[in-house]
Amino acid sequence: MDIKIIDAHTHVHFPEFDGDRDAVIKRAQEKGIGMITIGTDLALTKKAIEVAQKYEGVWATAGIHPHEAKRFTCINEIKKEVVSLEAFAKEKTVVGIGECGIDLFREDDKNVVAMQKELFIVQLEVAHRLKKPVVIHSRGSENGSLDGLEMILEILEARSHLLTKKGVCHFFTGTKEIADRFLALGFSFTFGGLVTFNRGFDEVMTHIPIEHILVETDAPFVAPLSHRGERNEPSYVTEVFPVIARCKGIEEEVVRTIILKNTYALFCL
């Protein structure tokens, strides 16, 4: 397969694709689109690996999403589960750890947030041991605050020694100032369908060096403008490039070449 584009964050192993996964992946392959399908708990990490093993041009990550933190009551429970996650992460098709991080949306239970932090830190430690990049999920509180990103940065800045292979901020919604703090740690950023219909991201995409930008779909979620309201899929990732090209003042084909190189380098593909 001649890969021309990589959807750096998708979930083609999710149940939403159980009925037509072959067709969805084939549509992407026909456009030269590879993909990284992202684990969010132990069962879905296992499924992601199975999908990556089956299809050409597909890789996986091993991760436990912050939403899973509500299942834990102490750090020992987290560590026990992450032993299994680390075993999955040693599989050769696994190219990153995550998605992991902090999600405060409709979450005001301080104990759950504390478990989110512990779950994130333990996965950072796995990424460090296995020398794999970390895929970060962040969402602020319902009022749109950046508290989630601030918490993540505090953790990363205090543990920068764990960032052997750096990582990527998935679905980045932060400010230029927040982006600069992630850039100082060596992180990159993914942008997806949201930027095709929300001009609020133009400024931060213009600000971030193109060498630190990747593209994603987050399929089956957040389809781009021409497919709004539909199930998203990796073949739609092409719609993100014209937006980045406009923000950067660079030809779209050049943007594609640079972003493909970025993705290969970050995930050691």
Place of tokens 């679905």: 171
Flag whether the pTM goes above 0.75: yes
- Interatomic CA distance for residues 191 and 170, integer angstroms: 7
Domain 5-267 has CATH 3.40.50.300: no
pLDDT digits (tens, 9 = 90+) for 131-163: 999 999 998 766 655 588 999 999 999 999 999
pLDDT digits (tens, 9 = 90+) for 27-56: 999 999 999 999 999 999 999 999 999 999
Count the neighbouring beta carbons within 10 Å of the beta carbon of residue 90. Answer: 12
- Interatomic CA distance for residues 223 and 236, integer angstroms: 8
Please give the single-letter amino acid code of residue 68.
Answer: E
Q: Is 222 left (phi over 0), alpha (psi -120 to 50) or beta?
A: left
**What pLDDT is attached to residue 143?**
61
pLDDT digits (tens, 9 = 90+) for 158-216: 999 999 999 999 999 999 999 999 999 999 999 999 999 999 999 999 999 999 999 99
Comparing C-alpha atoms, which of 6, 42, 26, 43 is closest to residue 217? Answer: 6
Comparing C-alpha atoms, which of 161, 80, 89 is closest to residue 118? Answer: 80
Show the beta-strand stretches assigned E in the chain: 5-10, 33-37, 58-62, 94-103, 134-139, 167-169, 188-191, 213-215
**What pLDDT is attached to residue 152?**
96
pLDDT digits (tens, 9 = 90+) for 214-228: 999 999 999 999 999
